[in-house]
Structure 1
Amino acid sequence: MAYGNDENNLSNNTNETALTDYTQQYDAIIFDCDGTLTDSMPLHFVAWRDTMQIYGIDFGEDAFYGMAGMPSEKIIAKLSSEQGVDVDADQVSHEKEAAFESMIDRLEAKSEVCQIARDHFGKLPMAVASGGIRPIVDRQLEHLGIADLFGAIVTAEDTEHHKPQPDVFLKAAELLQVDPTKCLVFEDSELGFAAAEKAGMAWIDVR
């Protein structure tokens, strides 16, 4: 893991003791979901690729990971506009999410990050702040048996603006009743790092 915030990159590949010392500086921890708590990104990519192919839209792996954290409707609108294809973004989004949900039994945890959440349960308030929609986020957390670890879950429906804007993280801090500057974020995407920085939060890159 890499530690950072808007001012510095603190270290790489830290040990458990150093991580515990680091988290003790904060009053709350906020986790992204996809690619952070759950190893869902490969499954999301397959669901996206296969769904978009139906509509004649190319969505390669590099583009997919570059848009990590962006709500589905915005991804569809961007790609369809760029490629000159007229689609119903809401319909395509539902089809993509159904494709992903059909593979949910293959979902695995990011075990190291989930263990961090378990280790801090009851010690620090924790939240999930995701660009995904609530049914899919809830389904993943329930599948992995970690939903009850979090005092708040914020998803795409809960804010008007999404990553790289800070709204989802600020909403999580609000629900936890913690000063945003005293929150530590675990993330896996550039959009997420940017959002955490705009919220005034330190972040850890879990990739």
Structure 2
Amino acid sequence: MHPDLAPRHADCLLFDWDGTLVDSQYANYRAMAAVLAPEGVVLEQEWFDARTGLSSAEMIRVLVEERALTPSRPVELLVADRDELFLTQAHAVRPHREVLRVVEAMHGLVPMAVASGGARRVIEETLRHQPFREHFDTLVTRDDVRRGKPAPDIFLLAAERLAAHPSRCTVYEDSDEGIEAARAAGMTVIDVRPYTAARP
């Protein structure tokens, strides 16, 4: 485990999913771009990468507002199709090695949760293919709360389920929205991006 990723004095660990535990960025982008293409949208990966802390529905709503779009179908249907496309690639999604080392080192020592703005069904299906699939005590997703990140609700519910005070939780995140949510929850947060970025 990299020393900078080691938790300090934490009663529980909360891990974001996409981009933190797993390297799903390109698969997520491809699925979203494919769903939006029939709507006449050319989705730039740079635009997508800058908003990875948002749920798929929130991302589409931001895109609709920014570009004054009129989708041919409700956002919920676009998201459902995006999820189906992503699931065809779920078996190929791999963990981020440095974060995997944290999970393996801390398994059995403190309670751990996946706390993600993603959809439960998508995460559960992808988790099935991961080497750490049995390591987590609970899974909290966007489906479990009223507000997604950057609101703190997902992290607060995860802490509640693990019977831990928020101030004693450490969050692992890879997005500005997620880091904002963790801080709003009163939790320690570790930005994993320096350790998960693709290296030449």
Query: What is the TM-score when the length of structure 2 is the normalising length?
Result: 0.90
Contact in 2 for aligned 1:30/1:183 (Cα 8 Å): yes
2:91 aligns with 105
Once the two structures are TM-superposed, the CA of residue 47 in structure 1 deviates from its matched residue by: 1.0
2:32 aligns with 48
2:198 aligns with none
Give identity over the alignment, percent.
33
Q: Secondary structure at the match of 1:177?
A: coil
Once the two structures are TM-superposed, the CA of residue 81 in structure 1 deviates from its matched residue by: 2.9
How far apart, in 1, do the equivalents of 2:109 and 2:51 lie? 33
How far apart, in 1, do the equivalents of 2:3 and 2:149 lie? 31
Contact in 1 for aligned 2:167/2:187 (Cα 8 Å): yes
Unaligned runs of 5+ in 1: 1-14
Once the two structures are TM-superposed, the CA of residue 147 in structure 1 deviates from its matched residue by: 2.5
- Which amino acid counterpart does residue 56 of structure 1 have in structure 2? G
- Number of residue-to-residue matches in the alignment: 191
Q: Secondary structure at the match of 1:185?
A: strand
How far apart, in 2, do the equivalents of 1:36 and 1:54 lie? 30
Once the two structures are TM-superposed, the CA of residue 30 in structure 1 deviates from its matched residue by: 0.4
Q: Secondary structure at the match of 1:143?
A: coil
Once the two structures are TM-superposed, the CA of residue 183 in structure 1 deviates from its matched residue by: 0.4
1:22-171 paired onto structure 2 within 5 Å: 23-87=7-71, 88-171=74-157
How far apart, in 2, do the equivalents of 1:58 and 1:104 lie? 24
How far apart, in 2, do the equivalents of 1:75 and 1:181 lie? 29
Query: What is the TM-score when the length of structure 1 is the normalising length?
Result: 0.87
Once the two structures are TM-superposed, the CA of residue 129 in structure 1 deviates from its matched residue by: 0.5
Contact in 2 for aligned 1:69/1:130 (Cα 8 Å): no
How far apart, in 1, do the equivalents of 2:2 and 2:120 lie? 31
* Structure-2 change in CA distance of 1:30 and 1:42 (3 Å): same
1:5-16 paired onto structure 2 within 5 Å: 16=2
